[in-house]
């Protein structure tokens, strides 16, 4: 009945749901591995490169790498090797049990120092009985616009396209079929087989080499995870979120992507399908905040250097862009892949993002907040870096009262959003704090006057005319979950009477038993959208800061229940709490880390962390 209703609405049920996936990666790109053993999403060689597997977005046409055990009525499970990003997919049946270990070798843990080629490794094993497997690798280059030519070579297959060449090696015989490579094998308990797909320079590995890569990558991830200083409640969930965030960081550049995917829909069957494979200054700055809370300071420093390079290339009229490509170049313009069917029939499928041309004034606040914290707990800012900060502050002083597209990147006419005002205040406030802390040259009196003018504007013009609580835009009456950032950014006391009224209003109008919606008013786009997972954790933290600790813990527990079985969050949730949108989303994972960190500290009053926000 559910599938019939979906078809009647012009939608098609997805072959694999968003939540059916785990993620693996090598800090350059990332692949999604479904619970049925299929890799149905991978862009190569970088996270924002064209896809080579994209069946998730165009079933049976986008390309996939499948491993299928022949087990009747098998129970299917996925789990990560503890404290790593190595993913184990398991099948358990009465007749036998099998598993696939998926990984990309960690760049800091090359088992062979002379090996430079990157690759994807899939190791198949049988743990009980005897199991038949069908393996099929069918890459589709350039967003499935090109079927690569296949040629056999010693130990494997060469996939050649116009601009990309890959090699597939295996420990078992491979057969070329039309458009794909296949293998049919039988393994008994204790036996294994492996497959390695990688760059053209990849040389055929052997059993010992594959085993060494697995051990080295396991050790590398555990070594990184071991730097976490967090020992509080929800430790495993917090660490999983940190590991997911790390997969979205670029080891080469220092940038941080908003998510690993493009065009997974915010509402199935509608047009809310965006590309999140770029580094948003906002999301990346918040991610730095989360990393520092957990003791990962190298990521913060690497990102600060990357941002500094972007600021050096900017001009006074536009000191920093909303987003950048992973390598720091200008983000791609938006275009559509008409030949993609879309996830659950959700079209158009888009790559690039037109929001890169918007004005979003809030980004200056997030950037300055992360800059202030990086200086407080890391290396001191350079003279050149401070000059760039002064350029940003000067821009904010002259533009804070302009309308913009806001944090939610609305594609309607620019408006005067409260969240943007508050973050402009954050930019001024953190710049003043930083100047005083480091005794840096600055017109502090002039900056303070601007900061205070923003405060006066907010309190005078962004209140509900009847109820007095804060509202989404100047002179309006609608609410916005972005207001939850006000106490988190210390613009207003978390127990201020006006704020408590606002919190109650958000609970009444935007919350649905743990689901929190960004807003209820129109945004210039077709169709509705789901609840925003990030906002659930913002809400939980605000409750805790307001003294409603029991409510905060319950909301946090409900929010955690919306993760998939691996502890990963997508961007949004439908009315049933099922995942929607790009995956995994950095903003949600970092919001969870922040909420867990604060609530744990509030529960245990005797706990005195070394790190103070």
C-alpha 363/C-alpha 572 separation (Å) is 22
- The residue ranges of DSSP E strands in 309-426, in sequence order, are 323-324, 335-336, 350-351
User: Is there a domain that residue 75 lies in?
Assistant: yes
Instruction: Supply the CATH number for residue 113's domain.
Output: 2.70.98.50
Using the 3D structure, point to which of 180, 203, 226 is the last residue of a domain.
203
Is residue 166 within 8 A of residue 148, CB to CB? The reply is: yes
C-alpha 568/C-alpha 584 separation (Å) is 6
Same domain? For 168 and 308 the reply is no
Chain center to CA of 467: 37
C-alpha 68/C-alpha 71 separation (Å) is 9
> How many C-beta neighbours within 10 Å does residue 318 have?
9
Burial letters 546-565, b for 16+ CB under 10 A, else e: bebeeebbebbeebbebbbe
Is residue 22 within 8 A of residue 33, CB to CB? The reply is: yes
User: Is there a domain that residue 33 lies in?
Assistant: yes
Same domain? For 246 and 356 the reply is yes
Number of domains in the chain: 2
Using the 3D structure, point to which of 146, 177, 203 is the last residue of a domain.
203
User: Is there a domain that residue 371 lies in?
Assistant: yes
What crossing angle do the helices spanning 281-293 and 363-377 adopt, rounded to 10°? 30
Same domain? For 450 and 519 the reply is yes
Range of the domain at 170: 21-203
User: Is there a domain that residue 444 lies in?
Assistant: yes
Same domain? For 466 and 541 the reply is yes
Same domain? For 336 and 192 the reply is no
Cβ-Cβ contacts under 8 Å for 278 (sequence gap 6 or more): 48, 257, 258, 323, 324, 325, 326, 331, 332, 353, 356
10-residue mean pLDDT series, the chain (613 residues): 37 85 98 98 98 97 98 96 98 97 90 74 98 98 98 93 97 95 98 97 94 96 97 97 98 97 90 95 94 93 90 81 95 96 95 95 95 86 91 96 95 94 98 95 97 98 98 97 98 98 98 94 79 98 96 97 98 95 98 97 66 47
Same domain? For 48 and 167 the reply is yes
Same domain? For 145 and 265 the reply is no
Burial letters 352-372, b for 16+ CB under 10 A, else e: bbbbbebebbbbbbbbbbbbb
Q: Which two tokens stand for residue 434?
A: 């930083």
Cβ-Cβ contacts under 8 Å for 114 (sequence gap 6 or more): none
DSSP per residue over 393-444, as a string? HHHHHHHTTS-B-TTTT-SSS-B-BHHHHHHHHHHHHHHHHHHHHHT----H
Identify the CA nearest to 244 among candidates 541, 35, 21.
21
Predicted local distance difference test score (pLDDT) of residue 338: 97
C-alpha 98/C-alpha 189 separation (Å) is 9
What crossing angle do the helices spanning 207-225 and 235-247 adopt, rounded to 10°? 120
Instruction: Supply the CATH number for residue 530's domain.
Output: 1.50.10.10
User: Is there a domain that residue 218 lies in?
Assistant: no
**Cα-based distances in Å from 281 to 83, 109, 377, 402, 423:** 28, 29, 20, 19, 13
Cβ-Cβ contacts under 8 Å for 592 (sequence gap 6 or more): 237, 238, 241, 537, 556, 559, 560, 569
Same domain? For 132 and 257 the reply is no
Q: What is the CA radius of gyration of the chain?
A: 25
User: Is there a domain that residue 592 lies in?
Assistant: yes
User: Is there a domain that residue 342 lies in?
Assistant: yes
Same domain? For 403 and 332 the reply is yes
Same domain? For 491 and 571 the reply is yes
Is residue 174 within 8 A of residue 181, CB to CB? The reply is: yes
Same domain? For 133 and 280 the reply is no
Same domain? For 379 and 264 the reply is yes
Is residue 542 within 8 A of residue 489, CB to CB? The reply is: no
User: Is there a domain that residue 222 lies in?
Assistant: no
C-alpha 235/C-alpha 597 separation (Å) is 10
Using the 3D structure, point to which of 203, 229, 264 is the last residue of a domain.
203
Record the pTM: 0.95
C-alpha 417/C-alpha 342 separation (Å) is 32
- The residue ranges of DSSP E strands in 59-206, in sequence order, are 64-69, 75-80, 87-92, 96-103, 119-138, 149-153, 156-160, 165-170, 175-177, 180-188, 192-199
């Amino acid at each position: 009945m559910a599938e019939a209703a979906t078809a009647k609405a012009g939608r098609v049920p997805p072959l694999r749901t968003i939540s059916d996936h785990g993620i693996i990666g090598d800090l350059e790109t990332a692949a999604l591995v479904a619970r049925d053993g299929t890799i149905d999403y991978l862009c190569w060689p970088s996270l924002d490169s064209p896809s080579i597997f994209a069946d998730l977005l165009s079933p049976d046409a986008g390309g996939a790498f499948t491993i299928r055990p022949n087990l009747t009525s098998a129970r299917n499970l996925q789990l990560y090797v503890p404290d790593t990003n190595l993913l184990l997919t398991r099948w358990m049946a009465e007749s036998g049990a099998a598993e696939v270990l998926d990984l990309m070798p960690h760049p800091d843990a090359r088992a062979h120092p002379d090996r430079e080629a990157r690759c994807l490794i899939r190791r198949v094993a049988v743990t009980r009985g005897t199991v038949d497997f069908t393996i099929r690798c069918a890459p589709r280059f350039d967003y499935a616009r090109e079927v690569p030519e296949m040629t056999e070579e010693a130990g494997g297959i060469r996939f050649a396209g116009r601009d990309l060449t890959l090699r597939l090696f295996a420990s078992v015989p491979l057969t070329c079929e039309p458009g794909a490579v296949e293998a049919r094998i039988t393994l008994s308990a204790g036996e294994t087989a492996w497959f390695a797909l990688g760059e053209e320079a990849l040389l055929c590995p052997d059993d010992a080499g594959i085993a060494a890569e697995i051990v080295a990558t396991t050790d590398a991830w555990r070594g990184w995870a071991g730097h976490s200083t967090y020992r509080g409640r929800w430790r495993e969930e917090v660490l999983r979120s940190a590991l997911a965030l790390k997969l979205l960081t670029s080891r080469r550049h220092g940038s941080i992507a908003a998510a690993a995917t493009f065009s997974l829909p915010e509402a199935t069957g509608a047009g809310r399908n965006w590309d999140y494979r770029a580094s948003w200054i906002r999301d990346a700055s918040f991610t730095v905040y989360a990393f520092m809370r957990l003791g990962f300071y190298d990521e913060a420093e690497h990102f600060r250097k990357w941002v500094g390079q972007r600021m050096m290339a900017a001009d006074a009229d536009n000191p920093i862009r909303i987003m950048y490509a992973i390598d720091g170049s200008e983000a791609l313009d938006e275009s559509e892949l008409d030949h993609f069917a879309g996830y659950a029939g959700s079209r158009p499928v888009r790559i690039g993002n037109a929001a890169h041309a918007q004005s979003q004034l809030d980004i200056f606040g997030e950037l300055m907040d992360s800059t202030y914290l990086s200086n407080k707990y890391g290396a001191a800012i350079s003279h050149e870096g401070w000059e760039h900060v002064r350029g940003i502050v000067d821009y904010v002083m002259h533009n804070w009262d302009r309308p913009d597209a806001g944090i939610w990147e609305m594609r309607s006419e620019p408006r005067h959003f409260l969240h943007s005002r508050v973050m402009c205040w954050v930019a001024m406030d953190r710049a003043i704090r930083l100047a005083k802390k480091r005794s840096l040259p600055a017109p502090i009196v002039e900056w303070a006057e601007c900061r205070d003018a923003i405060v006066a504007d907010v309190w005078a013009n962004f209140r509900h005319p009847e109820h007095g609580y804060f509202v989404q835009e100047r002179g309006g009456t609608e609410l916005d979950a972005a207001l939850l950032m006000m106490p988190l950014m210390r613009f207003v006391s978390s127990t201020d009477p006006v704020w408590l009224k606002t919190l109650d209003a958000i609970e009444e109008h935007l919350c649905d038993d743990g689901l929190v919606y960004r807003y209820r008013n129109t945004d210039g786009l077709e169709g509705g959208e789901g609840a925003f997972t990030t906002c659930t954790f913002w809400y939980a933290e605000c409750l805790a800061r307001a003294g409603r600790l029991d409510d905060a813990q319950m909301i946090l527990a409900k929010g955690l229940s919306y993760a998939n079985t691996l502890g990963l969050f997508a961007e949004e949730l439908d009315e049933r709490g099922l995942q929607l949108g790009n995956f995994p989303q950095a903003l949600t994972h970092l919001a969870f880390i922040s909420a867990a960190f604060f609530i744990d500290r509030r529960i245990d009053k005797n706990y005195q962390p070394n790190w103070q926000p």
